Structure 1
């Protein structure tokens, strides 16, 4: 799965920055921070600080009655409880669909019989390599969730209209969930289509 929407071409040469040197700032549990020296298109040099991230998935999961399965989770960096679609980071070597199936089960207890990949988003292009693969899930069956140690979140349901109103009112400010709402709105209206597939990955439980 490509992490970038398009590779640079010759037409982009007047925009491209080239790495001259790199300094590691932090090697944490899953974040890896660097300060690079780059050569700018005009020949001058500048510093770029950024974080390498393994990538993640987000699941737009819809019950048979049309309601969405969402989460409330405290996010320490912003010191707030956020309303979000289920999501989680990729393990090393893990395929995005397998990750989506694993995260949906672990966080919500739901399994989905049908899946469709929507696309990819880059939430913080100014300082991180992070990409989030966006998946739709339907034909859900509820089982037992399996939260990771130290993970605390509430699962609840809402209608698409409620979610969109919360986005409008500023109650939902999480970037990936706002992007998910955009995808959902266009899919429900018929403006955008999805290629659904059935079956579940063996890694889903």
Structure 2
């Protein structure tokens, strides 16, 4: 934290575990506010995740259609997945791309990090670009069902604009994609 941010900082006084499920870990903390008063904060502890923006040689991107139960609908998304304990972020990106889409990539570039729900989760999502794709067999997790398809960047941006794509990580990925393709943002590609 920057020294000039101290006047905004909250200090945790105590923590209570609310739920430790297979996927979610929820806690409640009592905090001291900058003015000395106290407040309660409830949030989800999350190990982090990765998202991959796979670029096909013909200029299209690889996307997925997956049922998201809390919303009760199929969502269009970039491939993504949760980090395993101690897992390297690039290793996770490689694993998720191959498991979900069947593709492997010759080159990778780290774009950045996003925090999708800063008000109630510690989750971060590492953003990776992949190119030089080779198709292969998918290895979906047990109970995972999704369709893989390709779209042009223009199609993806139109879906973002008209509300067909509402997933925060995919919207952020589309922003990165648009700026990388325009040359406004550069990537450091590695084999």
- TM-score normalised by the shorter chain: which range applies? over 0.9
Count the aligned residue pairs: 191
Structure 2 length-normalised TM: 0.99
Runs of 4+ aligned residues of structure 1 deviating over 4 Å after TM superposition are none
8 Å contact 1:24–1:35 — kept in the other structure?
A: yes
Corresponding residue SS for 2:84: coil
Could you tell me which residue of structure 2 aligns to residue 172 of structure 1? 165
Establish whether residue 113 from structure 1 lines up as the match of residue 73 from structure 2.
Answer: no
Q: Shift in Å at residue 10 of structure 1?
A: 1.7
Q: Whole-Å Cα distance in 2 between the matches of residues 9 and 73 of structure 1? A: 40
1:88-167 paired onto structure 2 within 5 Å:
88-167=81-160
8 Å contact 1:56–1:130 — kept in the other structure?
A: yes
Structure 1 length-normalised TM: 0.92
Corresponding residue SS for 2:44: strand
Q: Structure 1 stretches of 5 or more lacking a match? A: 1-7, 199-205
Q: Whole-Å Cα distance in 1 between the matches of residues 47 and 180 of structure 2? A: 28
Q: Whole-Å Cα distance in 2 between the matches of residues 39 and 82 of structure 1? A: 39
Q: Structure 2 stretches of 5 or more lacking a match? A: none
Q: Shift in Å at residue 31 of structure 1?
A: 1.9
Q: Whole-Å Cα distance in 2 between the matches of residues 46 and 128 of structure 1? A: 17
